[in-house]
Amino acid sequence: LDYWYDTLSTLYHNQETIETELYEKRRERKEEKRNREEEREREEREEKRVFLYDITSVYLEGKHCPLASFGYNRDGKKGKKQIVVGLLTDEEGYPLATEVFTGNTNDQTTVGEQIKKLKERFKAKRLIFIGDRGMLTSARIEEIESGLLGSGIDFITALKRKDLMELLARQEKALQLGLFDQPNLAEFREGNRRYVLCYNPNRKVKDAAQREKLLWKTEQKLLQIARCVAGGYLKSKDKILHRLYKWIDRWKMERFFQVEVEEGKFSYRRKEEEIERYSKLDGCYVLVTSLPPEELSKEEVEIKYKSLSQVEQDFRTLKSVDLEIRPVKHWKEEQVRGHVFLCSLALRITYEARKMLLPLLKREENNHHCEGKSLREIWEDLKRFSI
């Protein structure tokens, strides 16, 4: 057991070297028919390399790991501390680097280090960084645009609903809700940023149902407060406000309620006009990028952003029966980091295997049947053969 623990520690201490060498070898394979030096000079001079980035949470057993903390849980494991794992991939979803953060780490705070890693370790002088709306917030975008994170950096992300509403207010004449209904993508510019307006009818019902669910949950909490005040259990205005602030914006629903608080009095109502205003954006989303149209069309911007689904697939592979990264039962920090890095190396093998076995793993549209059944079953079949 000590040998395996020592191995994890050794892996972690050599992670940066291994990831860098694997990245270089992947580039060399893609350039094997070209002159390497000339191609690299051309890339540095003209081409921008595309990188995808996202994070997930992984729960741990035990409570003594210094990285373990309670945070936004994506595993649905209540009462379990967790770590946060960041995954950086190339445009095709091939894993390039992983990093482990404490379990209460906020998505957006990890971006700066990842861009620094791309610039310094992977020598990406010009790059396009793609992250979701929780990753590339307005603050992170401003850092990129101001040059605080270096030069030669472009980005693609989506706006949060709150930012979208603010944009609608600023661009009342240029940005009309009817533009979202166009069969072709619409776009406009504001300063150095391009905004691409997209509409997904399949999300319309889902967005409405999600909002109604969160409105109901918020209203149940407000109703509890109203009953406590009416029953005389809550009289002090300060105590009522303390209870109110605990729940009013737990699910980002504060904007949809009008609340009145006095000494011994409490009332609320839904702001139906605001709810109706937001409902018009169901199924709508806006992408924002720093890339000009001559470098990337609006259709290509949407395609690039949707490539983030490849990182989500990598996470499913890490956390499913293929690799089973969770639960993590180590408690020393370097062994936890070594465990995650070991799984990321296995993810690279799985990625290459899926690519090589694609004809066997391709599923039929009508019944989802495929000749190879699944990658895991192929692994099991191969175990029967001796080498």
The pLDDT of residue 87 is 95
H runs (alpha helix) in the chain: 2-13, 15-30, 36-45, 111-120, 138-146, 161-170, 201-230, 237-247, 272-279, 298-306, 309-319, 333-356, 358-361, 375-382
The amino acid sitting at 274 is E
Q: How many helices (H) and strands (E) does the chain have?
A: 14, 10
Q: Which sign, positive or negative, has the C-alpha torsion 51, 52, 53, 56?
A: negative
| Order of strands, sheet of 186-190, starting from the edge strand that comes earlier in the sequence | 95-102, 82-90, 49-59, 127-130, 153-158, 284-289, 193-199, 186-190
Helix-, strand-, coil-residue percentages of the chain, each rounded to 5: 50, 20, 35
Q: Which distant-in-sequence residues (6+ apart) come within 8 Å of 363 by Cβ?
A: 369, 370
Label the pairing between strands 265-270 and 127-130.
unpaired
Q: In whole angstroms, give the CA distance from residue 61 to residue 6.
A: 20
The pLDDT of residue 52 is 95
Ramachandran angles phi, psi of 175, nearest 5°: -110, 100
Cα dihedral value 270, 272, 274, 276, nearest 10: 140
The pLDDT of residue 90 is 92
Return the closest-CA partner of residue 128 out of 49, 232, 227. Answer: 49
Per-residue pLDDT of the chain (387 residues; tens, 9 = 90+): 888 888 899 999 999 999 999 998 888 877 776 665 565 555 554 578 999 999 999 988 888 889 989 988 887 778 888 999 999 999 988 999 999 999 899 888 899 999 999 999 998 889 999 999 888 888 899 999 998 888 899 999 998 877 777 777 665 555 555 556 555 677 888 888 898 888 887 888 888 898 899 999 999 999 999 999 998 888 899 998 988 888 888 888 888 999 999 999 999 999 998 888 888 788 888 899 999 998 999 889 999 999 999 999 899 889 886 788 988 888 889 999 999 999 999 999 989 888 888 877 777 767 667 666 677 777 777 777 765
